[in-house]
Amino acid sequence: MEKKNKAQSRRKFIRNGARLSLLLSLGAVSAAALRKVTTDGYVWQIDPFKCTQCGRCATECVMTPSAVKCIHAFDLCGYCDLCGGYLKPDANARSTAAENQLCPTAAIERKFIEEPYFEYHINEDLCIGCAKCVKGCTSFGNGSLHLQIMHHLCVNCNECSIARVCPSDAISRVQASEAYKVKGSWTNPT
Amino acid sequence: MKNKGIVIFLIVLAVVIIAVMVGDWYSKRPDRMEANKFEYNIEEFRKVPEELILFKEVKNFRVGFENPAGITSSGDTIYLVGDQKLKAIDIDGQLLLEIDFQDKPTTVEVEGENIYLAFGKSVKVLNRAGEIQDEWNIEGENTYVTAISGKEDFVFVADAGNRKILRYTKNGNLLDSFEGKADADDLHGFIIPSPYFDIDVNEYGDLWAVNPGIHSLEQYTDNGNLREHWQASGAQTENFSGCCNPAHFCFLEDGSFVTSEKGLVRIKIYKSSGEFLGVVAPPTKFDDKIEGQAPDVAVDNKGNIYALDFDRKVLRVFEKN
């Protein structure tokens, strides 16, 4: 009689254990599924306040041209005639002549607004992310030009090849829902 | 024998793979990478020939501000504002006066027996004991006072937000204002790309204002007529670079200008005619920050130059060599 009870309780124990394992597995699967629904993935992005404008974003990205582009915080811009991001420091004139432009691909378009103010637009197709303009703007101006990884171009490598060589560790993983770290209020008028 | 060949091949393959990985890892270290052809090197503009440096730093004080905002001098007393305080110290750094406010002062000026402090859209007038005598509110949605200067009869207030200079009586009556236009039909007067718009009155009672958008210093009559100006634009040492420079200036006793620049931070001296004289503090004297802030400057009655270094939060004293 006693032997029978022991056998029954062992069977019961195994049955309960199996039920518990199933429940735990189901819970874990549900939690994982829920997490996937409620949270998004991560993408690479540049912190413009850490960036030292070394120029590696142009050469190290797996994309050609680089997925890093210059963007312009118009609310920080002084709309200067003498723009440190547009003109070479030894420019012989404040004009759109190629020899006066700092950008190697002429990706910055200078538009006259009213005397003596000019607006500067980045042509994303031409920009190679070299950061020359960013360094000029940050060193001599208000720092309104800055680099960002453009997520419609970035292939989101498992290990970002630019992050790997970035001397200031300015590139890190950010949540895809907040994929950009922009200076000022980024409103890129077209 | 056949297996031995495969083993040797696999070992050689593993060694080659490891060598490639290690080589790649080493060559991609930032300090070992080849020079980047796209790097924009501005180091050449930071270098100043030794013979151009006319001053040396002799001492510095911690001013006790988390966010220093402005400095001026009167005789051998230095007045500083920052956080929500006004402090007065002597030339040895001894605290003489400390006054707390509810708001953050943006600039300070001492004229006659009064201390004038700006608080963005208002000016508070204190006596030398630090007691509030008067307060002037300045109308305008964009008003932002960046500098105050005075002479016997008037007090001038620089409003960077509205790009104009306001003239007040010592009692706080607004007399007039001007925008730096030589002619009413002129398209522009003061060009203020960012909130750096300094003014000062020299020993001879002449009002000077920076026009930072065009790197010029302009002298105006009391009622706002342009009398003379000089300009120095460019990245070289003898010029003002970038936008909004010089960000601050003051006068030596002989009417020479002491100028302070942001971005490529440097303090320099120009003759009263605008001719470049030399450098007080080259860029290498300041933190190698990308967005360096221009120190506010003042001069004591011995001709020493005081620079309020916003990045290091210290007051630095420069004496002639």
* Residue A127 CB contacts under 8 Å (≥ 6 apart), including other chains: A65, A69, A70, A105, A107
Q: Chain B residues with CB inside 8 Å of A52's CB? A: 290
* CB contact A105 to B (< 8 Å): no
B21 shares its domain with B114: no
The encoded tokens of residue A78 equal 């002084």
Which pLDDT does position B188 carry in this prediction?
Answer: 73
CA B295, CA B319: separation in Å to the nearest integer? 16
B191 shares its domain with B97: yes
B1 shares its domain with B85: no
Which pLDDT does position A187 carry in this prediction?
Answer: 44
Q: Chain B residues with CB inside 8 Å of A81's CB? A: 213-214
- For testing contact with chain A, the best of B183, B290, B291 (most A CBs within 10 A): B290
Mean pLDDT of chain B: 90
B284 shares its domain with B138: yes
Which pLDDT does position B218 carry in this prediction?
Answer: 94
Q: Which pTM was predicted?
A: 0.78
Is residue B91 predicted with pLDDT exceeding 70? yes
Average the pLDDT over each of B150-159, B167-176, B235-244 and give the range with the smallest value: B235-244
Which pLDDT does position A190 carry in this prediction?
Answer: 38
ipTM computed for the complex? 0.72
- Chains A, B: CB pairs < 8 Å: 101
Q: pLDDT grade, residue A188 (50/70/90)?
A: very low
Question: Chain B closest CA to A89's CA: distance in Å?
Answer: 6
Which pLDDT does position B263 carry in this prediction?
Answer: 85
Query: Checking DSSP bridges between strand B305-309 and strand B296-299, what pairing results, if any?
Result: antiparallel
Q: pLDDT by residue (tens digit) across B238-277?
A: 999 887 899 999 999 999 999 999 988 999 999 999 999 9
| Contact between B55 and B305 (Cβ < 8 Å) | yes
* Higher per-residue confidence, B22 vs A110: A110
B40 contacts A131? CB cut-off 8 A: yes
The mean pLDDT of B169-183, rounded to a whole number, is: 88
Single-letter code of the amino acid located at B320: K
Angle at B26 between CA B25 and CA B27, to 5 degrees: 95
Is residue A25 predicted with pLDDT exceeding 50? yes
Is residue B28 predicted with pLDDT exceeding 70? no
Nearest to A55 among B36, B42, B242 (CB): B36
- For testing contact with chain A, the best of B39, B181, B190, B293 (most A CBs within 10 A): B39
The mean pLDDT of A33-45, rounded to a whole number, is: 75
Q: pLDDT grade, residue B214 (50/70/90)?
A: confident
Report residue B157 CA to chain centroid gap: 18
B203 shares its domain with B149: yes
* Residue A34 CB contacts under 8 Å (≥ 6 apart), including other chains: none
Query: Which domain range does residue B286 map to?
Result: 48-320
Question: Chain A closest CA to B236's CA: distance in Å?
Answer: 8
Q: Which residues pair with B233 in a beta bridge?
A: B240
Name the domain count of chain B. Answer: 2
CA B188, CA A173: separation in Å to the nearest integer? 46
B103 shares its domain with B217: yes
B59 shares its domain with B33: no
B199 shares its domain with B287: yes
CA distances (Å), A53 to each of A176, B7, B87, in order?
24, 48, 39
B23 shares its domain with B168: no
Report residue A93 CA to chain centroid gap: 35
What does residue A169 show for φ and ψ, rounded to 5 degrees?
50, 40
| Contact between B105 and B117 (Cβ < 8 Å) | yes
B157 shares its domain with B293: yes
Nearest to B194 among A78, A84, A139 (CB): A78
Q: pLDDT by residue (tens digit) across B285-305?
A: 998 776 778 999 999 988 999
